[in-house]
Structure 1
Amino acid sequence: MEQPPSFALERRTIEHIPASERHGRPWHQLALWFSNNVQINTLIIGAVPVGMGLGLTWSIISILVGNLVGALFMAYHSAQGPQLGLPQMVQSRAQFGFYGALLPSVMVVLMYLGFAVEGGLVAGQAIATWAHLPKPLGIVVFNVVLLLIPLVGYRLIHAASRVVAVISGVAFLALFVRLLPQLPSHPPGPTTHSLGVVVSAISVCVAWQVTWAPYVSDYSRYLPENTPTRVTFSYTYLGSAVGGALTMVIGAMAATVNSDAVNSDAIGFLADRFPSFAGLVVAALLLGLVPAGAEGPYGAFLTALSALSAEGRVRSTATARALFVLCFAALASALAILSSGSLLDTFQNITLFVLYLLVPWTAINLTDYYFVRHGHYDIPELLTKNGRYGTFTWWAVLVYLVSIAAELPFINSSAYVGPLVRSLGGADLSWLVGLIVGAVGYYAGTKLFADRRPRPVAPGLVRS
């Protein structure tokens, strides 16, 4: 069947994608998640370990470990997409109930806003500098330019990512080659290799990868249902882990060369590495922000709709998405304009804050999918308000909240330091605690409270 072009408006929201509309190839996931990670925001996350006091060698070790571990979770979420044909947060109804899923959905919308603010801060500063505009206007210009892609939807996001993957790959390779000889023999300023700081730096990198988890399957849900789980997982993992790790290493290199310049105007600093082609570098780096930036309002729309509507049906999908995207862009612009302080601190705090909220959710979701239900869900019932998955699974919500509470003593950020951090040498182990408490607590809850007795359904309604 002939497929519509990439610029055709998407008609679906959170409904199940039928077999007749499935399309795409698994390697498209590699291009999408490579382009999402090979961008300036990822580079700035890579500068954070240097800003925490680590030398380049230990920063690189932290970056590699963090990305290789963190990408495991998001890739396992991605593998759910072809099997279920649903956005990620709709599937959370199976764990929390229809109304219970409101809680993680609100957290995810906050995550989208946080990363939209990050993108606006970085891109707005660059646009303002190179176009000689006030910074607030630069932020607004960036968010306005982003609007086109989420208005069109899924196909254009994938098409744009494949183009940007090539451009960003070339740009960041050139930056690596240019920065390498500029690295000082002895990095300036104090450095530390203490285990606690290394663990905290790893946590920041894990956080970056885990933040993709609530919407990674939104971009694999159109793949054919017979796509093997291992194939979807592998392409997603490779694109995200490799793209994220390599870009963060370049960020650590840039911060080692001049941390203050990266902190104040990262794009401007990188563009200055190529004085004769500075404008092209700025354009390439801004373009690299487009796929991930566009996914923010698009994913927030799907998440909000999953929280408010059983089946996600609206009178006009295009109109509803347009109104939401416009409001989202306006709010993200306002928050970015009001933000102040160190760019590296802002990125670290937002990323870690999101991690603290998302790790318990990802633990519960993955435990339910892979260890409790083994990928078998009644799709029509997920899209029914008073269906078999219930309206409010109190014990699952309790496990989620308890998991977050269990993280608090182990948090180490510039905004808050838990009481047990000092005894751990400054290590931030909160995400690991949240992961264990969430997974074990949810699995125990299914044995104690959940009614797993099968109910009769028509053939073809249960998908695995």
Structure 2
Amino acid sequence: MTQAKETLIETRSIDMIPDQERHGTPFNQFTLWFGANMQITSVVDGALAVVFGADALWAFIGLLVGNILGGAVMALHSAQGPRLGLPQMISSRAQFGVLGAILPLVLAVLMYLGFAATGTVLSGQAINGILGVETPAVGIIIFGALTALLALLGYKYIHALGRVATITGMIGFTYLSIMAFIKFPVASFIGIKPFAMSTFLLAISLSAGWQLTFGPYVADYSRYLPRSTSQTATFWNTFLGSVIGTQWAMSLGVIISAASLAGYGGSFLKNQVGYLGELGGIGVIAVLIYLVIVIGKLTVNTLNAYGSFMSMLTITTAFNGKKSVTTTQRSFFILGMIILSVCIAIFASKDFLNLFKNFVLTLLMVFTPWSAINLIDFYWISREKIDIPALYDPQGRYGKWNTPALVSYFIGVLVQIPFMAQSMYTGPITKMLGGADISWIIALLVTAGVYYPWAQSRNVAPKEMIYPGNYIGK
């Protein structure tokens, strides 16, 4: 068997990874997703549950429930990677059609762009804290350059960064957690407010939305695993890494937001990065905390840049039929996304917390139906059997447009409107429920109920996996 030539920059893109180039173990998924979630934006997301009215105790519980539910869905997407050897969104063509898949892809690009921009704001503050400068654009531009470099290098280096982020995150967040219990009367924050269903469900939605928004790219980082890799092992390593890392960071967010609202340590709402730095200490300690923040954010921001490259490439190749691009084209896609996210970060950083809350909940609205369709089709309709060459051919078995998936998707989005609970719009049923947001639960149930019988009756999946003609397996 001939091994692929080792190069500094990854050469694969949306094409299938041959068996002779597969490598890694399921534990790599644990370190990647633990490191990517043990970061400051997770802290902010957890803090929102308290900021918007939940008692600290019920915020902890609600966030855990949401992380478990959303993490299970996200990890089921990850388990597809070793089986298919494909990026996540290219496989959506099997459900939506080669051109129909463009719809969720466009939304995925917007998601990556939004998370990259909001994360860059916080990371820029941390870099400025390390360098001792006050101009926001300095830290933002430096962070953008680091993100671009790692995204250009690709898969292997992204996983290496995940391992670094896991180590630094565990050390940094252990220290911050200890300091939080030393400096704040944490027990006094528990049970201050009575249980309220609306804020409890908001906490669940915040963490479930956080997990579900990884769905459109999670298999991008498991697709190099050997095809013989256990799906169960892939699932559990992804699930545990993502849920443990996220819940830890979000729980810290609950504690420090409750402390901030109680008057301890200044305002977390106005200066999230500075607050964590002061919680850790002053001088060198604060600088090290800022470094932990930068490494954690760099990990997830690189995922966003890499995922946007995959999604934009999948959109363009739907029209030209190509399966890969040159290094120059790859660089163009990645740098374009980074430059745009940096510009947004520089010019649109006001009212960050409220905007971020609505951003996460909106993404939950549009990606929950997509997850339902993708998972139902892969595990229960096609039963893990895909015609891979047809994913690149609009005239193939999956066609240009797939009516059952597209109609089910739109129904899944529209049915959520009466159940929405956002500052822009609150649905009538939500008002009857006292403000409780259950739109994502409704979307899962309705989308599954519409799509499954319809897709089952029009099943076009092959009886066995069909690989490319030039594919060399084991």
Give yes or no for TM over 0.5.
yes
> Partners in 2 of 1:374 and 1:75 — Cα distance?
17
> Aligned equivalents of 2:217 and 2:25: distance in 1?
18
Q: TM-score, normalised by structure 2?
A: 0.92
Give yes or no for contact 1:263–1:342 (8 Å, CA) kept in 2. Answer: no
Amino acid at match of 2:171: V
The CA deviation at 1:159 is: 0.8
Is 1:298 the counterpart of 2:298? The answer is no
Q: Which residue of 2 aligns with 1:275?
A: 282
Q: Is the 8 A contact 2:312 2:333 kept in 1?
A: no
Partner in structure 2 of residue 15 of structure 1:
15
Going from structure 1 to structure 2, the CA distance change for 1:427 and 1:33 (only over 3 Å counts) comes to same
Pairwise CA distance, 1:247:
1.1
Q: Distance in 1 between matches of 2:67 and 2:133?
A: 37
Residues of 2 paired with 1:267 and 1:189: CA distance? 27
> 2 CA distance for matches of 1:3 and 1:163?
26
Matched with 2:31 is: 31
Displacement of 1:442 in angstroms is 1.1
The reply on whether 1:242 has 2:244 as its aligned counterpart is yes
Distance in 2 between the 1:414 and 1:220 partners? 37
- 1:182 paired with 2:188, answer no
CA contact (8 A) 1:53 1:192 kept: no
- Pairwise mapping of residues 295-444 of structure 1 onto structure 2 (< 5 A)? 295-310=303-318, 312-314=322-324, 316=326, 318-444=327-453
Quick one: structure 1 residues 422 and 166, their matched pair in 2 at CA, closer, same or farther if it must change by over 3 Å? same
User: 1:456 & 1:403 partners in 2: Cα distance?
Assistant: 29
- Over the matched positions of the two proteins, sequence identity in percent amounts to 37
* Within-5 A mapping of 1:140-155: 140-155=141-156
Report the Cα offset of residue 455 of structure 1. Answer: 9.7
Kindly tell me: are residues 128 and 192 of structure 1, through their superposed partners in 2, closer, same or farther at Cα, counting changes over 3 Å? farther
Is the contact between residue 183 and residue 256 of structure 1 (CA under 8 Å) also seen in structure 2?
Answer: no
State whether residues 93 and 100 of structure 1, in contact with CA within 8 Å, keep that contact through their aligned partners in structure 2: yes
In structure 1, distance between residues paired with 2:138 and 2:465 = 58
Moved more, 86-95 or 127-136: 127-136
| Matching residue's letter, 2:282 | P
RMSD: 2.4
Checking the alignment, whether the CA contact within 8 Å between 1:109 and 1:300 is kept in structure 2 is yes
Q: TM-score, normalised by structure 1?
A: 0.94
Quick one: distance in 1 between partners of 2:437 and 2:467? 49
- How far is 1:437 from its partner? 1.4
How far did 1:342 drift?
A: 2.8
The alpha-carbon deviation at position 377 of structure 1 amounts to: 0.8
Tell me the CA shift for residue 452 of structure 1. Answer: 5.4
What secondary structure is seen at the aligned counterpart in 2 of 1:158? helix
Rounded to whole Å, the distance in 1 between the matches of 2:344 and 2:329 is 23
* Structure 1 residue runs of 4 or more that deviate by more than 6 Å after TM superposition: 1-5, 455-461
| Deviation (angstroms), 1:312 | 4.5
Confirm or deny: 8 A CA contact 1:45 1:205 kept in the other structure: yes
Partner residue of 1:171? 172
Would the aligned equivalents of 2:37 and 2:242 in 1 still touch at CA under 8 Å? yes
Number of equivalences: 461
- Runs of 5+ unmatched residues, structure 2: none
Structure 1 distance, partners of 2:260, 2:456, is 54
CA distance in 1, matches of 2:159, 2:143: 20
How far apart in 2 are the matches of 1:396 and 1:56?
40
Take 1:224 and 1:84, find their aligned partners in 2: how far apart are those partners?
Answer: 10
Q: 1:298 is aligned with what amino acid? A: Y
Q: Deviations over 1:177-211 (max 9, x none)?
A: 00013333544998453111101111111000001
- TM superposition shift of 1:140: 2.2
SS at match of 1:263: coil
The amino acid across from 1:22 in the alignment is R
| Residue matched to 2:221 | 219
Structure 2 SS opposite 1:293: helix
Per-residue CA deviation, residues 79-101 of structure 1 (Å, 9 max, x unaligned), is 00000000010100000000000
1:46-103: per-residue Cα shift (whole Å, max 9, x none)?
Answer: 1011101112111111111111111000100000000000001010000000000000
For residue 11 of structure 1, give the secondary structure of its aligned residue in structure 2: coil
The CA deviation at 1:111 is: 0.5
